[in-house]
Copies of this chain bind each other. A is one copy, B any other.
């Protein structure tokens, strides 16, 4: 029995090695929604460089870490990121019980769906809304509520369910990196707990591999069992200069690939670009109002101003949606 298992293990290892070795060569095929050109070539070349055993840029698998910003990089973030849409819906439902919300920020802006004010309230604003709208729920109740909301939660401009709004070219990129032995982390400004119930199904990324802010919880006995109750207090993941520290705090390593789309991602990209070995730093540039959105320097959410200049100055890879992509979503919206 044992020798049969050992033989199978060897077969599995061999097959896995073949698949991995074939991975980079298959890069161009996996990235079907990417047009042939320098952007696609840069990605495929990077994969080949870091996964070629014995090559000068080979990186051992445990150091193949990639970080993806979520909103605006893996999915659209206009007219509002999914978490904010969830919070606005929930607050509207709860508003009758909270008359003071009408006169207090950022609750007032959430009830009025004032995107500009909500964008200005930043991550702290999102977490204040999370605290007000979901504090007191157990962590299990919160996850269930997020999943229930996602059954109908729809991006109004794209007429598409939020959990079916992942950008297809980015999903292909995740597949390619995984085939190359990468571990992938998703970085979100708001509450990591909002993404965790659905990232596995949507992106194939384990729930534990989400980095973000969080509500504090209280460990408490309830109905003969023990639960964690969400409190209206939070640990904030700062944008910009705070982001590299938050990523390091979560994973203990500098990633070798980073994907972002906004000025808030700048320092994360700079940090990865400062790594000693081969690295890939890519900015998603929203240039396609027909299929998605076009905004860059003027975005309400995901403003890309400093980042675009830095990318050009420092030679980061820019994925221009119009030039570089030929398909945006895997299924028609519904």
Tell me the bound Cα distance from A127 to B153 in angstroms. Answer: 43
B12 touches A219 (CB 8 A): no
Interface flag for A225 (CB, 8 Å): yes
Q: Which of B200, B208, B228, B245 contacts A218 (CB 8 A)?
A: B245
Of all chain B residues, the one with the shortest Cβ separation from A18 is B8
Q: Which residues from chain B contact A183 at a C-beta distance below 8 Å?
A: 206, 208
Interface flag for A144 (CB, 8 Å): no
Tell me the bound Cα distance from A217 to B254 in angstroms. Answer: 13
Q: Which residues from chain B contact A8 at a C-beta distance below 8 Å?
A: 15, 18-19
Tell me the bound Cα distance from A206 to B18 in angstroms. Answer: 23
Tell me the bound Cα distance from A45 to B245 in angstroms. Answer: 42
Q: Which residues from chain B contact A208 at a C-beta distance below 8 Å?
A: 65, 183, 185, 209, 250-253
Interface flag for A120 (CB, 8 Å): no
Name A's B-contacting residues (CB within 8 A). 1, 5, 8-9, 11-12, 15-16, 18-19, 22, 26, 62, 65, 139, 183, 185, 192-193, 196, 200, 206-210, 214, 216-219, 225-228, 235, 241-245, 248-253, 267, 270-271, 273-274
Tell me the bound Cα distance from A243 to B241 in angstroms. Answer: 28
Q: Which residues from chain B contact A209 at a C-beta distance below 8 Å?
A: 208
**Known: A217-B245, A219-B245, A219-B271. Is A252-B196 also a contact (CB below 8 A)?**
yes
Tell me the bound Cα distance from A12 to B251 in angstroms. Answer: 29
Min CB distance A266 to B, Å, is: 11
A19 touches B12 (CB 8 A): yes
Tell me the bound Cα distance from A273 to B298 in angstroms. Answer: 51
Min CB distance A4 to B, Å, is: 8
A225 touches B18 (CB 8 A): no
Min CB distance A60 to B, Å, is: 10
Q: Which residues from chain B contact A249 at a C-beta distance below 8 Å?
A: 192, 214, 217, 235
Tell me the bound Cα distance from A8 to B274 in angstroms. Answer: 38
Q: Which residues from chain B contact A192 at a C-beta distance below 8 Å?
A: 249, 252
Q: Which of B15, B207, B216 contacts A251 (CB 8 A)?
A: B207
B19 touches A15 (CB 8 A): no
Q: Which residues from chain B contact A253 at a C-beta distance below 8 Å?
A: 196, 207-208
Of all chain B residues, the one with the shortest Cβ separation from A29 is B2
Q: Which residues from chain B contact A12 at a C-beta distance below 8 Å?
A: 11-12, 15-16, 19
Min CB distance A204 to B, Å, is: 10
Q: Which residues from chain B contact A62 at a C-beta distance below 8 Å?
A: 200, 206-207
**Known: A11-B15, A15-B15, A218-B245. Is A225-B5 also a contact (CB below 8 A)?**
no
23 contacts between A and B (CB under 8 A): A1-B22, A5-B18, A5-B19, A5-B22, A5-B26, A8-B15, A8-B19, A9-B19, A12-B12, A62-B200, A62-B207, A139-B248, A208-B250, A208-B252, A208-B253, A217-B249, A219-B241, A219-B245, A226-B267, A226-B273, A227-B274, A228-B244, A235-B235
